[in-house]
């Protein structure tokens, strides 16, 4: 137990450091495009989307291969390769002077994904069955904390140094995470079952994973959740600007910050509690409630323009987020086969990355053609699909 507590603390630290580094990129990108790349107008939005999408495309393509390698040779080597490689590529962003150079480096950076997904894998397979939910919830809490403080650190750095000088600081956080893995994360010897699977092909393994019921429903649910969550991020600035404000003492920038922080604050505070509740009542029930509530919240946001109502909806959405992804991962853990943990969770992550990639792209098209309310209507349908899958999962597990 003492060994697991040290391991869990190290993995939480890795989650916090890498998530902070990822969060730092958000304010650095527009500063780079404007000040270094001299991009403006329509091209500014085009290159912003390209730089973000390049990372998700690479991660989506790389994860299945990294999952198989991790099952065969160990997760810690992949985490070290990912951490040190990502730190080097991030430091090289200082040398970028053109938008296409930054987008290319973002793609290469995505190829070194693995440190966060495999940190979660080690937590899920290392935690006792009675504490899977609370462990996954605590990991999500640390990730959300990093996503919240990362932009604050980067914005503070930009007050003193140029955007290109801030990239090494971003690299430093990833480097510290890699060193933490090297020194404190331990992985036991490979089991006999893993060794006997070395002769299997990737396609054979994928077929076996896909046949695990109700994994397809969990994959679709994960895709839908990330599609709606990440796709909502580009919408919020315009949504807040159009809202009827009652807090007249705050400007639009502060209102946007408060709105985004409300969701993150709810995730940080309630993720461990809802994880513990999941261990007691079961992850499927919480997933049903969380996705069903998200449907109602999207409906309210589609028809209201009153800022306090929007703020309350964003906070409650944070509770829903805390009850979605950790419970999906906890259910995957309960059905994963010995020796295929990395490939199984890699497949889940690929579907999540596809949702994160497609959400903003589809959302931008919907908003441009039909307006913001239409996006919330679309998100409501997507969450409804995820809720439907949660009920299907319950039916399969009750048989």
* Same domain? 293 vs 384: yes
What's the predicted TM-score (pTM) here? 0.84
On whether the CB atoms of residues 119 and 66 are closer than 8 A, the answer is: no
Residue where a domain stops, chosen among 123, 150, 184:
184
On whether the CB atoms of residues 327 and 287 are closer than 8 A, the answer is: yes
* Same domain? 311 vs 276: yes
Residue 232 lies in a domain: yes
How many domains does the chain fold into? 2
* Same domain? 173 vs 241: no
* Same domain? 100 vs 29: yes
**If you average pLDDT over residues 216-238, what whole number do you get?**
83
Model confidence at 183: pLDDT above 90: yes
Q: How many CA atoms lie within 13 A of 31 on its CB side?
A: 20
Can you tell me the distance from the alpha carbon of 197 to that of 342, in angstroms, rounded to the nearest whole number? 13
- Residue 308 confidence (pLDDT): 85
- Residue 90 confidence (pLDDT): 94
Residue 191 lies in a domain: no
Model confidence at 15: pLDDT above 90: yes
Domain CATH number, residue 342: 1.20.1250.20
* Same domain? 242 vs 391: yes
The tens digit of pLDDT for each residue in 304-313 reads: 888 888 889 9
Residue 197 lies in a domain: no
Decide which of 353 and 397 is more confident. 353
- Mean predicted lDDT score pLDDT of the chain: 85
Residue 160 lies in a domain: yes
* Same domain? 235 vs 334: yes
- Residue 194 confidence (pLDDT): 53
Range of the domain at 219: 205-398
Nearest CA to 287 out of 275, 273, 301, 297 is that of 275
Residue 190 lies in a domain: no
The tens digit of pLDDT for each residue in 102-158 reads: 999 999 999 998 899 999 989 988 888 788 888 888 999 999 899 888 888 888 888
* Same domain? 29 vs 119: yes
* Same domain? 130 vs 22: yes
The tens digit of pLDDT for each residue in 228-254 reads: 888 887 677 677 777 766 656 556 656
């Amino acid at each position: 137990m003492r060994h697991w507590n040290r391991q869990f603390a190290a993995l939480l630290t890795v989650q916090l450091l890498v998530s902070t580094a990822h969060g730092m990129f958000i304010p650095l990108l527009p500063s780079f495009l404007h000040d270094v790349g001299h991009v403006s107008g329509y091209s500014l939005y085009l290159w912003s989307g390209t730089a973000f999408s390049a990372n998700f495309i690479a991660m989506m393509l790389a994860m299945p291969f990294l999952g198989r390698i991790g099952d065969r040779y160990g997760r810690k080597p992949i985490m070290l390769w990912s951490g040190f490689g990502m730190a080097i590529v991030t430091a090289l962003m200082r040398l970028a002077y053109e938008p296409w150079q930054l987008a290319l480096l973002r793609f290469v950076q995505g190829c070194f994904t693995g440190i966060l997904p495999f940190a979660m894998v080690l937590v899920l397979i290392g935690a006792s069955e009675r504490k899977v939910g609370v462990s996954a919830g605590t990991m999500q809490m640390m990730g959300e904390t990093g996503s919240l403080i990362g932009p604050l650190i980067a914005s503070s750095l930009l007050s003193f140094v140029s955007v290109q000088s801030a990239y090494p600081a971003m690299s430093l956080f990833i480097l510290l995470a890699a060193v933490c893995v090297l020194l404190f994360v331990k992985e036991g010897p490979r089991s006999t079952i893993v060794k006997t699977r070395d002769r299997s092909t990737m396609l054979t393994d994928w077929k076996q994973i896909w046949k695990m019921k109700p994994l397809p429903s969990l994959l679709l649910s994960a895709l839908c959740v990330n599609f709606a969550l990440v796709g909502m991020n580009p919408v919020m600035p315009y949504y807040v600007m159009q809202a009827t404000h009652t807090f007249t003492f705050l400007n639009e920038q502060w209102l946007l910050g408060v709105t985004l922080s409300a969701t993150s604050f709810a995730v940080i505070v309630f993720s461990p509690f809802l994880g513990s509740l999941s261990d007691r009542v079961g992850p499927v029930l919480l997933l049903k409630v969380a996705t069903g509530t998200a449907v109602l919240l999207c409906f309210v946001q589609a028809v209201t323009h009153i800022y306090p109502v929007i703020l309350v909806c964003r906070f409650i959405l944070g509770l829903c987020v805390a009850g979605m992804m950790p419970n999906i991962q906890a259910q995957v853990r309960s059905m994963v086969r010995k020796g295929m943990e990395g490939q199984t969770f890699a497949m889940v992550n690929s579907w999540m990355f596809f949702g994160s990639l497609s959400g903003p792209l589809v959302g931008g098209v919907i908003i441009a053609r039909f307006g913001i309310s239409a996006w919330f209507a679309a998100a409501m349908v997507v969450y409804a699909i995820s809720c439907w899958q949660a009920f299907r999962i319950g039916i399969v597990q009750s048989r």
